[in-house]
Structure formats: structure tokens, C-alpha cells
Amino acid sequence: MVLNGTIQTLSRSRTMQNILITLLVAALAVIATWKIKPEKEQPPAAPPVVSVQQMGTLATLKVNYANVIEFDQRVTQDIPWTQWEFRFGGTRVLLIARGECLIGTDLQSAKYEHLSTDTKTATLILPSPKVFSARLNHDPKTGGSVFYTVDNKGIASLIPGTEGQTKAMNLALQKGQSDIEAACAKPDLLIAARKNAETVLQPVVSATGWKISIVWR
């Protein structure tokens, strides 16, 4: 009886070994097949435009503005039934206008075109730079604008109060604001802003491993 039990135990042990050997051989075959099978080469991912868009508005040029604004607020009276008028004088304002403006590009509107995964080349389309901020500095204590002359002439000098002078000064400031906006939108400044933007952005987009050309629209 004892011998019989021992034979049965040995038989079960050999059967279990055979099963384990079979499973091990099958596993090795699967691994070998997986290693031998060539992997499909994944195409390179497109350059992330998000990294550019997240930069928001990129200010690339700061312009310090200074100009002399001369403004005359005249006191006149129309002559009835004619195109003529009487001039009784007025207020002359001489404003030394100072301020600054910022020119930049809205990168949230950036997009890629002509993507080629084979050559890893693409075109980055950017909106043309524009003036984002142009303002006069109204504080003479910080080197801002200064009213150099405010003179009343003719009948204006006889009118009591300062309402006429205040109106003339405000109109001179409005003229100065229009002048700084026009001065900062000159083509040569916009070209300089483009070049500065390209200098900043090229290292950013080149870090993706792609060859990026920038086109302005």
C-alpha cells in the first residue's frame, strides 16, 4: 500500500513538471515573437502651437514718445448770412507731450500651416504686430507732459474764469493722444516689432525639433 501511494505521488509530480515546462516554453515563444516583430515607427508629433498661444500678447517693442503740441482755441463770432466770422482772440497752448507705447503680437491667434511629418517642417502663421498701448504721461513729476505756455489773446483775456483755458488744455491733450497713436503705428516701428518677435519665438519653436518658418498676416 505504501509503495502504491509513493508511485502515485511521483506520477503527479512528473505531470505537474510537464505542465510547467509546457507553459514556460509557450511564454518564451510569445516573448520571442514579440521581440522579433518589428515595431511600427510612429510619426513625429506636430509642434505644439499651444506653447506659443499660451504666451498671450507678446510685447516686443517699447517706444518713448516726446513732441511739442501747439494748439489754438479761437474765440469767434459768425457773421449772419455770410461765410465770414469775427475773430476776437483765443487761447494758445504749447504742450510738451511725453509718453510711451507698446507694440506687440497677439499669439492667441497663432496657427500652423503646411505641416510635413516627413521633413519635420511647418509654417507658423502670426498676426501682424499692432499698437496695444499708447498713452501720454500726464504727471510732470515723473517726467511726463508739461504745459509750457497757456496764453489768452484778444477778448479771451478779458473773459473771467479759467473755463476757456481748461477747454483749450484738454483739447491739446487730445491732440497729443492722437499724435502718439499715429507716431507709434509707423511702418518702421512695426517692422522692428516683427524682428524682435521672431528673435524671441524662434528658440521656442525650434526646441520642438521642427524647422519652423514664420509668416506674418
Judgement on whether residues 17 and 79 belong to the same structural domain of the protein: no
At 140-156, the pLDDT tens digits run: 889 999 999 888 776 66
At 5-39, the pLDDT tens digits run: 444 554 555 565 665 556 555 555 555 554 544 55
Quick one: DSSP state of residue 109?
G
State the total domains in the chain: 2
Judgement on whether residues 141 and 211 belong to the same structural domain of the protein: yes
**Cell representation of residue 151:** 496764453
Identify whether 163 is part of a domain. Answer: yes
Per the confidence metrics, is the pTM higher than 0.75?
no
User: What mean pLDDT do residues 61-87 have?
Assistant: 81
Identify whether 193 is part of a domain. Answer: yes
Q: What is the mean pLDDT of the chain?
A: 79
- C-alpha–C-alpha distance, residues 208 and 199, integer Å: 16
Judgement on whether residues 56 and 158 belong to the same structural domain of the protein: yes
Judgement on whether residues 108 and 85 belong to the same structural domain of the protein: yes
Judgement on whether residues 111 and 23 belong to the same structural domain of the protein: no
Identify whether 97 is part of a domain. Answer: yes
Judgement on whether residues 32 and 66 belong to the same structural domain of the protein: no
pLDDT of residue 7: 43
pLDDT of residue 4: 46
Judgement on whether residues 74 and 24 belong to the same structural domain of the protein: no
**Count of CB atoms situated within 10 Å of the CB of 102:** 17
Q: Is the pLDDT of residue 40 over 70?
A: no
Judgement on whether residues 28 and 84 belong to the same structural domain of the protein: no
- C-alpha–C-alpha distance, residues 140 and 97, integer Å: 10
Identify whether 90 is part of a domain. Answer: yes
Judgement on whether residues 116 and 29 belong to the same structural domain of the protein: no
Domain that holds residue 8: 1-39
At 114-172, the pLDDT tens digits run: 888 888 899 999 999 999 999 999 998 899 999 998 887 766 665 656 677 888 899 99
**Count of CB atoms situated within 10 Å of the CB of 159:** 16
User: What mean pLDDT do residues 187-195 have?
Assistant: 96
User: Does residue 89 sit in helix, strand or coil?
Assistant: strand
Judgement on whether residues 95 and 126 belong to the same structural domain of the protein: yes
